[in-house]
Each structure stands twice: as C-alpha cells, then as structure tokens.
Structure 1
Amino acid sequence: MTVDEFLVWAEGRPGRYELDAGEIVAMSPQRARHADAKFAVQMALKAAIRRGGLPCRMFPDGMTVRIDKDTAYEPDALVYCGARLDGDAVEVPNPVVIVEVLSPRTRSLDSGEKLVGYFRVPSVQHYLVVDAVKRRVLHHRRGSGDLIETHIVAEGALRLDPPGLDLALADLFEDDGPA
C-alpha cells in the first residue's frame, strides 16, 4: 500500500495506524504515563513557540508525516513552521521538530527505524525521543552533510535551532503531583 492509499483507507476509520514499508500497523492503546508525557511535551512546545514569537505551530499526535512513498508515521508531537495548513489536512509536509515518547512496545522502533526514517525527511532538524520514566531526552539533531548529532539531556534546557525554540527539560516532565 502507498501512503496515498493508506490515507484514503484510514479516513474515518476508528483507531490509530501507521504505514511501515507498505504494511498497516495498528497502534496500541496508550498508558496513562505515556498520555501525560505527550501532553506535557505538546504544551511545552506550544508555549516555547509562543514565547519565541515564531511563525510555527505545534501539532499533537494524529497528524501524518510521510517518510517515503510507502511509509508514514504519526509522531506524538511535531513542530511545523510556515504557511498555515489547510484545515482539512491530515499530513504535515515539512515538519521541523518531531517528538516520540517512549513506550515499552515502541522503544526499539522509536530509537532505530523511526530515527532513520524521520531524518530522510529533508525539513526535519530535530528528533526528540522522550523517556518519561527516566526523565531524559535523546536529542537527535541534523548536522552538516549526513551527520546526525545525538545528545542525552537529563537536566537544563534544549535549544532547538532552527526554528529557535528553547525548552526547559522540567517543562517536558511536568507533573500534577502523585497519581
């Protein structure tokens, strides 16, 4: 199946899916920790965009990123800069920042296949893999040529430039208190 066929197939279908090398992959229900972490990341990105006065938008999970003709992922959050997308769009054509929150089932996929895939998209400058349990972020950044620089960040802040976002790590793991 191609991404175009997949997007038609997925329209209005219950559940969440990704397309990997032409194969439909159902996404598992998420755990509370994962949902909390995604929401904290999404809010931190949105606040950083607003603070920076950037012409960018944060999209939560649900938007599709096309990797190639037969692979499309749905990250947990992303940042897109540029003209406002059509209100009926389901695909983000040129994301700058991609975020995946680790879950037990996706740990190797997020740190392996998706890492390679997301950097096949020329606009992607940063890929953040958020570990909500260990409270750290693997920050993969596009360097010069084919170089991908990786940093493990456990405290302080992240500078995502471009597009010019500053994220305090504490904001990515914001808690409402004990569960």
Structure 2
Amino acid sequence: MKAFIISDSHGWGVELQKVIQRHRNDVDLLIHCGDSELSAEDEALRGVKVVRGNCDFGVDFPEDRTEKVDGVTIYVTHGHLYNVKMTHVPLSYRAEEKGAQIACFGHSHVAGAFVENGVVYINPGSIRLPRNREERTYCICEYKDKKATVTYYDYNGSVVEDMIYQFEVN
C-alpha cells in the first residue's frame, strides 16, 4: 500500500493540484488531512480523501475518515479535535478504536512520523505555512508486511533527505 499524504494547504488550489498531479498515478490513495480551505468540488481535490480542518468552513468534508487499502487501515483526521499540538494521547485512543495501522493528521504544521503501540502516526507538515522547518512538506507512506517507510518531499518534489523514516511495526 502506498499513500500520498498532505495537509494544511490553506487556500492553495493550483499549487495543491500541481503537487498531487506529480504523484497521482504512483500511489493507491490520496489523503488531505484538512485545512485545504477549498470546496469539495474543487478540481485540486478530485479523487482525494479529505477531512475537515478548523479553517474549513461548511460541511463539505467529514471530521475524520477511515480508509482500507490492501488490508491496511488508515485513520485520517485534522487533529484539532484531538489537541495534537499538545499531546498525541487522544488521537492514539481514536486510532486504536478504529483499528488503524496508520493514523494521519495535520493541524500543527509540524512534519514528522513516529510509531506508538504498533500504529504509525504521520503529520505531513504544511505545503504553505510550515513550522519548525523551512521546507514546505508532504509525504508518501509505503506500508507492506508490517514495515512502513515514510518519505517527505518539499513543495518542488525533492526528497527531504533527513526526513525518511523506516519503521517495523508489531
């Protein structure tokens, strides 16, 4: 299973579409973790599994979603409802409830990935307003045989060399 994960594009439609088009045919799933600030009908989000962030107004997107690809359960939320800027504990409870192997979230604009209790947690950062790094990031997660590789890219599609994470999951 290979998933493209992006978040916090904050109104960038053309730019978002450019990044997604770069990888659309190379992945099994396209995920946006919220704060797109676009409507569900926007061409940039065609074929993308999107959740609502705290800056997304209206009811175009669900608060969270669970996707299953090749036997891998992926939980997606923005993170503001789980206080992810302070702790990952509420998010971990929800991911466990959903039986997720992967939990994707945004909100903090801080890119990173880690494993806890057998779940891979991924925050793709932000392609518009990154925090803690200068690169505007998104990532691709490959998950197979209880091994996950999360590779981060900058807005232009170059691999962020110090942000390639490999995990063996119980």
* Interval containing the TM-score (normalised by the shorter chain): 0.3 to 0.5
Structure with larger RCO (C-alpha < 8 A, sep 6+): 2
Specify the structure having the higher radius of gyration (Cα). 1
Tell me which protein shows more helix as a share of its residues: 1
